[in-house]
Amino acid sequence: MLRIGTLTFDIARCFHGKAMLYLPYGDDPIEEMRMNTNDNVYSNTDEEYHEICEFLNRLSTKAPFMLWESGRMNFWRYNIHANKERDARFFKDNVHVWRSDTQEIVGICISEYGNNDLFIEVLPEYNGVYPDIFRWINHTWATTRAAIEVDVFSEDVQKIQKLGVQGFSFKCHFENKRTYDLEQSDLRYTLEEGFTIQAFSESLDFASRVALVQSAFDNPKYMESNLRGLMASPDYIDEYNLVVVAPDKQHVAYCIGWHEQTTEHRGYIEPVGTHAAYRRRGFAKAIIKECFARMKANGIHTVEIASRAEPAVSNYLYDSLAPQTKREVHKYVKKVSA
């Protein structure tokens, strides 16, 4: 037995290759629920990708602290890793899937970049699978790394407790997530003379956009194929892929808006970037407000924007837009023994 506060867990036992699991129970006597689960390497087929998105959409209705949403999965596959072959080893090594005895996905581990970063998402009614998840992390995924880093909302006490038992400790305040009420937002903006905001599809100037992203994020590896992959993704909405165009037709700032798949009237903006030579001139603020206006016209009421934590200068921009809420994402780390 493992006791954390008022919760007690029966550690998972293996039987014929399956994890025999028990849900947590507290001081009040309730019936233990026994579950059979099996874990699998991720195949990255279209079918399994959509299965994971459906799992994440179900989870979003039950878990207020989830960080890896279906939209992030979409961006991960169609933008960050758009240049990889679908059967590349990266996907098998950095995603693992847990299924119930009916083969429904109940939990995943996924690394965004394949470095030390890892996200854990589990259906609440299958919390008993955590011991099996940590076994896979410790004995498989972590064996080629010096550390494991997991992001969690600062309010997610239960997951933080689970990480603590596994030897994780607080590393830093890593990210902020802000929400904006479009009914309360001031959508007015001005641009310098000669600059305009338009949908990227109006120019389809891929070379200028690639140069913009490379400069905005100091990312020389960004290629046209990353952008084309994102534009071909299932969640893509053309009118929210916006650019600020200079008088010489150069693209100097951009953002992309998205609709949440499970919550009506909610959306998010990701990413937002400004060319290094055009910063501190109000272009990012203007293009976000234009995206807000377009989303509001399509029935979106609330929009989320994520940013790196302070002292990142982008926080001044996002605070100036008067967020309704601001939540902290913390990073927890565990050193891996050699």
Vertex 132, ends 131 and 135: CA angle to 5°?
A: 90
* CB-CB contact of 253 with 284 (8 Å): yes
Structure token pair of residue 129: 């699978």
The residue among 263, 287, 70, 308 whose CA lies nearest residue 199 is 287
pLDDT at 337: 79
For 47-91, the pLDDT digits (tens) are 999 999 999 999 999 999 999 999 999 999 999 999 999 999 999
- pLDDT-derived band at 195 (thresholds 50, 70, 90) equals very high
The CATH number that domain 2-145 falls under is 3.40.630
For 204-234, the pLDDT digits (tens) are 999 999 999 999 999 999 999 999 999 999 9
pLDDT at 305 over 50: yes
For 135-146, the pLDDT digits (tens) are 999 999 999 999
* CB-CB contact of 53 with 110 (8 Å): no
Structure token pair of residue 233: 């993704």
What topology is assigned to 184-300 in CATH?
Aminopeptidase (3.40.630)
Strands 7-9 and 13-15: unpaired
pLDDT at 338: 62
For 243-292, the pLDDT digits (tens) are 999 999 999 999 999 999 899 999 999 999 999 999 999 999 999 999 99
For 141-163, the pLDDT digits (tens) are 999 999 999 999 999 999 999 99
Please, where in the chain does CATH 3.40.630.30 lie? 184-300
- pLDDT-derived band at 101 (thresholds 50, 70, 90) equals very high
pLDDT at 19 over 70: no
pLDDT at 36: 84
